[in-house]
């Protein structure tokens, strides 16, 4: 009985001592514990972050490379892309689509969101440039210049819908400037974006199409017949910006900064874009 009492006394002493040590930890120890807890909570917050980026269809090939690289460097972030015509994407965002960052192929579509207060002016910038080209099916030598589109034997050509597809708007401006829009308007097959124009040309459904140089370079089914004079259309500028009400604003800002990095700009250059 005495041994049991002695053992119980020892255990009670150890318990009291442990509690006393805990209550008398130094301020530095308490701070270290708090910082560790805060860091752990912060890490938990950035786990499995998903960013939705609405981007012009012409950016897809370059962004595929950037997406892979960025996610390898930031495994806690998942990038989800919504590609399409800049005008359509802008309308979706204006109507409340859940998007974190917008990468447009036209300044006017981007500026509408700035005017609406959807993107703060300080959270956007002109990042890239592009050029406009006339493409024809591979090995087709019948069309060599934009003026050839007005010939009677050219039955169909394709451009993006000017109201929603910036490349289509630039194409119409160029055709108007060189004076053949009235002659070719009835031949035009409108497409939802530049990739659809490429598809129409590549499959031979139309005799020619007008797209960005960057799109023409990644297709093995078309070739460039001519380049548009930059003076015939509005400058082609690609602005990017963070949506003000993004639920993942800080993560979106980090990716936005990455798009401006030398590593990202080098990828864009490799795919034919002009960098600022």
Q: What is the pLDDT of residues 62-71, one digit of tens each?
A: 999 999 999 9
Same domain, 154 and 271: no
Residues 227 and 243 grouped into a single domain: no
In a domain, 7, yes or no: no
Residues 6+ apart with CB under 8 A from 146: 134, 174, 175, 178, 180, 226, 228
pTM exceeding the 0.75 threshold for the entire prediction: yes
In a domain, 118, yes or no: yes
Q: What is the crossing angle of helices 86-94 and 107-115, to 10°?
A: 10
- Let me know whether 173 and 241 are in one domain: no
- Token pair of 67 as six digits: 């997406």
List phi, psi (to 5°) of 237: -125, 140
What does the pLDDT read at residue 141?
A: 82
Q: Is residue 23 part of a domain?
A: no
Asked if residue 177 is part of any domain, the answer here is yes
Name every residue whose Cβ is closer than 8 Å to that of residue 21 and which is 6 or more positions away in sequence. none
Q: Are residues 155 and 175 in the same domain?
A: yes
The residue range of the domain holding 266 is 48-129+237-275
Sign of CA dihedral 158, 192, 181, 105: negative
**Residues placed in the known binding site:** 58, 86, 167, 194, 212
Bind-site residues for molybdate: 58, 86, 167, 194, 212
Report yes or no on 63 lying in a domain: yes
The answer to whether residue 268 sits within a structural domain is yes
Residue 19 lies in a domain: no
Express each pLDDT in 6-28 by its tens digit.
444 544 454 454 544 445 544 44
CA–CA–CA angle 132, 138, 140 (5° rounding):
95
Per-residue pLDDT of the chain (276 residues; tens, 9 = 90+): 444 444 445 444 544 545 444 455 444 444 344 444 444 444 444 468 999 999 999 999 999 999 999 999 999 999 999 999 999 999 999 999 999 999 999 999 999 999 999 999 999 999 999 999 999 999 888 999 999 999 999 999 999 999 999 999 999 999 999 999 999 999 999 999 999 999 999 999 999 999 999 999 989 999 999 999 999 999 999 999 999 999 999 999 999 999 999 999 999 999 999 997
User: Using one digit for the tens of pLDDT, what is the confidence trace for 206-251?
Assistant: 999 999 999 999 899 999 999 999 999 999 999 999 999 999 999 9
Number of domains in the chain: 2
Q: Tell me whether residue 110 is in a domain.
A: yes
Same-domain check for residues 95 and 120: yes
């Amino acid at each position: 009985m005495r041994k049991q009492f002695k053992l119980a006394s020892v255990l009670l002493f150890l318990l009291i001592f442990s509690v006393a040590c805990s209550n008398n930890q130094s301020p530095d120890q308490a701070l270290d514990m708090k910082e560790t807890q805060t860091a752990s909570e912060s890490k938990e917050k950035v786990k499995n972050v998903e960013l939705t980026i609405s981007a012009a269809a012409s950016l897809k090939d370059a962004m595929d490379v950037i997406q892979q690289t960025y996610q390898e460097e930031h495994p806690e972030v998942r990038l989800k892309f919504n590609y399409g015509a800049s005008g359509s994407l802008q309308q979706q965002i204006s109507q409340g689509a859940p998007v974190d960052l917008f990468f447009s192929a036209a300044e006017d579509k981007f500026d509408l969101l700035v005017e609406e207060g959807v993107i703060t002016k300080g959270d956007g910038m002109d990042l890239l440039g592009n050029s406009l080209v006339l493409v024809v099916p591979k090995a087709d030598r019948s069309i060599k210049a934009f003026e050839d589109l007005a010939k009677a034997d050219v039955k169909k050509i394709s451009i993006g819908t000017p109201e929603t597809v910036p490349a289509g708007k630039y194409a119409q401006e160029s055709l108007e400037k060189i004076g053949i829009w009235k002659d070719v308007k009835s031949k035009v097959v409108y497409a939802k974006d530049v990739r659809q124009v490429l598809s129409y040309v590549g499959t031979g459904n139309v005799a020619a199409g007008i797209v960005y140089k960057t799109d023409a370079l990644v297709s093995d089914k078309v070739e460039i017949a001519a380049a548009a004079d930059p003076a015939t259309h509005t400058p082609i500028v690609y602005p990017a910006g963070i949506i003000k009400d993004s639920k993942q604003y800080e993560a979106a800002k980090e990716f936005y900064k990455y798009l401006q990095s030398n590593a990202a700009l080098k990828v864009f250059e490799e795919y034919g874009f002009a960098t600022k």
